[in-house]
Structure 1
Amino acid sequence: MATKDMILGKLQTLITQDFNDPKAAFAFFDEDGNGTLSKTEIVRLLKKAEISGLIRGFVANKLIEGYSKDGDEEVSWNEFKAALDEIKE
């Protein structure tokens, strides 16, 4: 099974290779433009990052659980940035 570090690494690779900056990546995956990433939008991001289809839903749930601090079950820009900052550590 994929590890958290491997998944975060793939996300980092996607963001650095396909986008000018993390904010551009966030905006691209925020399809409805509401300033947050829903589970559906996160699954799309994970697919683009080449995370296995078998675990995308599980990983999306874990990302929301781990980073959505306000309980809205979506990931805001600040929460997304916190996840990226964790990758850099």
Structure 2
Amino acid sequence: MLHEERRHTEQRVGEARRPPAPEWLIERGLDRNNIVALHTGQCWDPGKRTKPVTRTQAIEALRQQVPACTKCRPDTALGIAD
């Protein structure tokens, strides 16, 4: 029983220390210079090669013609929908 309590305590501490999910993600292609899409942090389909970015960087990416994810619509969330 002690082992089980310890495991639950460690799990709670780990969850409390986990950094918050990023609000915005940039997805890169195989070539790290190629930006594939911009996603919200809650997107269910961001791909494997993502990097967290700030709101300012996300807006700038859209201004630079980075495609917005068609599933999570970060352009709409940022108020920049066409």
TM-score by length of 1: 0.25
- Bigger share in helix: 1
TM-score (norm 2): 0.27
Question: Looking at CA atoms only, which structure, 1 or 2, has the larger radius of gyration?
Answer: 2
Higher normalized strand content (fraction of residues): 2
